[in-house]
Amino acid sequence: MVKTEGPLKITLELGGKLYDVTEKESVEIYPEVFVSMGRPPSKSEPPFPRLVIDAPRSVLILREELWKKSHERAKKAGVPNPH
């Protein structure tokens, strides 16, 4: 993520390209992988950004621990910048 512009807009940088992501429409960031912003489920929750990812089951989405494990395995295998 590059920057947050309120609870319903962020700018992502992937592969050197910038994507403005809002709740109004999905943005394709990879073939068949779309992202958009989501509203909190209730008005009582803080308005933190929520990224919604829509992807086929064949696309592995790496978050937190899975990304770290994948990154560590790639570094051990000699891949210079795996992600």
Q: What is the DSSP string of 8-29?
A: TEEEEEETTEEEEEESSS-EEE
Residue 3 has pLDDT above 70, yes or no: yes
Could you give phi then psi for residue 17, rounded to 5 degrees? -110, 140
- pLDDT of residue 66 exceeding 60, the answer is yes
pTM of this structure: 0.64
Q: What is the pLDDT of residue 76?
A: 75
pLDDT tens-place string over residues 40-61: 666 776 666 678 889 999 988 8
